[in-house]
Homo-oligomer: A and B are copies of this chain.
């Protein structure tokens, strides 16, 4: 397997594009994205667990009930959520897309991201549809990725190439996600494409299995969005024998998918609103996976620890505290904690109590941009990783006045 360029267009038969259609006032920021497969594709998705769901999710869920899709349309600048006419708008988005591409509206994935509860009209999307269609190209992944960005500061795209039954296959993805990110089922917008042939059932299985260890282990601020979804379109144009069951091919597909999703998780966490650091919490030695995940997520979500990481302060007591209130059943007296980065690694807590350590070395380690928080529970063999970011002045700034 190797990393390749092209994002969501790395897979054969996919084109993508993005334009500014006018939902956002800022004309230099694209606000509408399109991904298109030459042929109908197997499709799978996971959605937010928030009871308040964006109208586009309701419409997409309906469209994907047959496991087939051919296009993805997504706007930024308005979440189309808590609007009286939300479903109508989402359906119009589908209809206009289907019409422009000559496909069935039920084969369109529709998504929106932005402010919740703002009035929305279909007008800018309707008038921008021609330009959007014309923007479709094999080099259009970055334009699409820009079209779905909100407070994101960096484009998030990746693609990998791998073999399936002797055929060269690709999986690529774009993502947006910066705030309102919390580990409860699908915590951002992620669109993944692949030319691998895989049945809708196995595609859904691959996605649902993967997100439990990836997108569900990312937290920026503890707020689970109303509009999260992750979708995968698999159009089979790589020509491999269709993956219909578990086995070597499914495993290879899962590995490739995981490379894409872990990359996007790290990108999303590291680009958390206002973040200056990516935090990666690795828990080992847990009695079971559930315990490992609970501990990793609790630590990565602690506002106090996040603020300490911003200040490069090795305040490991906050790690212990977050483990203690996580609800996980752990033996506090067996916990070891280290901090690590490319500047080195330092043990700060052993058997649940502090050890002497060099504050200077700790500071040097924590001043880096990618920090590992290593927790050994010394009670078993299970492990888990969670991703997050530091809490900074800019998080407050960005969210203190988001709507204006």
Interface residues of chain A, those whose CB is within 8 Å of chain B, are: 49-53, 79, 81-84, 115-119, 179-180, 182, 184, 221-226, 301-304, 307-308, 310-311, 313, 315-318, 320-326, 330, 332, 349, 352-354, 391-393, 395-404
Contact = CB atoms under 8 A, between A and B. Distances in A.
Nearest to A81: B317
A317 B399 contact: no
A117 B391 contact: no
Given A83-B354, A402-B308, A323 B52 contact: yes
Given A115-B317, A307-B398, A308-B399, 8 more contacts: A50-B321, A51-B332, A52-B332, A222-B303, A313-B404, A315-B402, A393-B397, A395-B396
A225 B322 CA distance: 9
A333 to B, nearest CB: 10
A325 B79 contact: no
Given A52-B323, A116-B317, A396-B392, A223 B303 contact: yes
B393 A304 contact: no
A379 to B, nearest CB: 13
Nearest to A323: B52
Contact of A51 (B49, B310, B311, B330): B330
Copies in the complex: 2
A320 B116 contact: yes
A115 B314 CA distance: 12
A52 B179 CA distance: 30
Contacts of A221: 303-304
Given A307-B399, A321-B50, A321-B223, A117 B393 contact: no
Nearest to A304: B223
A399 B323 CA distance: 18
Contacts of A353: 82-84, 117
Contacts of A403: 313, 315
25 contacts: A50-B324, A51-B324, A52-B320, A82-B317, A82-B349, A82-B353, A84-B353, A116-B320, A116-B321, A117-B320, A179-B304, A221-B303, A222-B303, A223-B304, A223-B318, A223-B322, A226-B317, A226-B321, A303-B399, A308-B399, A311-B399, A311-B400, A313-B400, A391-B399, A392-B396
Contacts of A52: 320-321, 323-325, 332, 352
B395 A307 contact: yes
A273 to B, nearest CB: 9
Contacts of A81: 317, 320
Nearest to A315: B403
A239 to B, nearest CB: 42
Nearest to A182: B325
A60 to B, nearest CB: 17
Given A222-B303, A303-B223, A396 B116 contact: no
Nearest to A49: B325
A358 B328 CA distance: 46
Contacts of A51: 323-326, 330, 332
Given A313-B404, A325-B184, A396 B393 contact: yes
Given A117-B354, A307-B396, A321 B225 contact: yes
Contacts of A402: 308, 311, 313, 315
A189 B223 CA distance: 28
Contacts of A117: 316-317, 320, 349, 353-354
**What 4 A-B pairs have minimum CB-CB distances, sorted nearest first?**
A116-B317, A52-B324, A311-B400, A307-B399
